[in-house]
Structure 1
């Protein structure tokens, strides 16, 4: 078995959990390959007690990997998706951050969780993505033209609203006067879209949601559509350009550029332990069903 490991080391005290992960994996008959920059951070960190400089490193992945360990928070998972792409490598999200909707394996249970995974005692949660093209083409939109959470357009260098002319399957839907517009997957429904008033959507559903950001017209509400819809956006406003983001990656586009958003032709596979579920994660992360009055 060949395992890739990636992290960003942004979280306090995460070094001790990285130590636990590497120690647990070294007890197994697996080949461990660590992302190049992450390994250099590990070896520079004084709180890591062992020297891991002997590990192999990668800059990009190939189909020889069986699992990909993402160590951090949900932002690290989103970055991991850019490495995995359409290679069908299952991602193991170990949460050393805070919220953790995607990286659901808790740092307090690292050793037992890795033991379950090595025994094959897990399931796969398959997640759809969005992909974009632009007309005219943009040099800033490269082969990483996909997003697991959302595609969003936002105003740039102005306090004025932008107009986002929106078509669904070549039929005019609306012109949103707002700070921007989000097109989110079910996976992304608990992220940026949720903070802008969008609905929570179970990741097993085949849908996308259009959520306006601070719309001028209060009747502009989030809209859930089938995920086989083609959504076209054209932005105009007082500025000469606007921002488009694909998860955490941002590009600048000129006004009147058309963005075409579709379902990607590949999925991301997230490893899920037996006791985990989306419903359980919702209850835990959003504190549903808990009485905080005492």
Structure 2
């Protein structure tokens, strides 16, 4: 399963959450992709593959948007027209559109088992 990260790294604890998400995805056997602009943040994670988001999302199974509702909406605009599903993890204030909060990252394994609702 190919998972592509989309995040707003200036949003609160988004960098820390992005790292935790990468580790959780990798531990659960998922292929992790990120934009090359994240190389500085994720450089010690040799399992992360890099490609521009718009390129990587074309054949991805899931896009994980890490940020607030604006980040999730921005990601959704790029996911439309692909077969990827969108999972939002809130690092903003309200997080009305998010499916997860940072303390629920352990639940990300459910992507691999299909134990989720679209």
Given the superposition, is the C-alpha separation of residues 41 and 93 from structure 1 closer, same or farther in structure 2, using an over 3 Å criterion?
Answer: farther
8 Å contact from structure 2 (residues 7, 14) kept in 1 = no
Residue equivalent to 2:70? 75
Any idea what the Cα deviations from partners look like across 1:211-263, whole Å, max 9, x if unmatched? xxxxxxxxxxxxxxxxxxxxxxxxxxxxxxxxxxxxxxxxxxxxxxxxxxxxx
Residue equivalent to 2:5? 5
Q: Distance in 1 between matches of 2:19 and 2:53?
A: 22
Residue equivalent to 1:31? 31
Q: Which runs of 5+ in 2 are unaligned?
A: none
Any idea what the Cα deviations from partners look like across 1:29-49, whole Å, max 9, x if unmatched? 222111233x14524xxxxxx
Q: Distance in 2 between matches of 1:100 and 1:41?
A: 27
Shift of 1:91: 0.1
Q: Please identify runs of 4+ aligned residues in structure 1 that moved more than 6 A.
A: none
Residue equivalent to 1:96? 91
Say if 2:101 is the partner of 1:106.
yes
Shift of 1:122: 0.5
Say if 2:50 is the partner of 1:51.
no
More contact order relative to length (CA 8 Å, sep ≥ 6): 2
Residue equivalent to 1:292? none
Q: Distance in 2 between matches of 1:95 and 1:76?
A: 9
Any idea what the Cα deviations from partners look like across 1:180-235, whole Å, max 9, x if unmatched? xxxxxxxxxxxxxxxxxxxxxxxxxxxxxxxxxxxxxxxxxxxxxxxxxxxxxxxx
Q: Which runs of 5+ in 1 are unaligned?
A: 44-49, 125-294
Report the structure number with the largest CA radius of gyration.
Answer: 1
Given the superposition, is the C-alpha separation of residues 123 and 20 from structure 1 closer, same or farther in structure 2, using an over 3 Å criterion?
Answer: same
Residue equivalent to 1:193? none
8 Å contact from structure 1 (residues 2, 30) kept in 2 = yes
Instruction: Classify the secondary structure of the residue corresponding to 2:44.
Output: coil
Q: Distance in 2 between matches of 1:36 and 1:108?
A: 26
Q: Distance in 1 between matches of 2:35 and 2:78?
A: 10
8 Å contact from structure 2 (residues 90, 98) kept in 1 = yes
Instruction: Classify the secondary structure of the residue corresponding to 2:98.
Output: coil
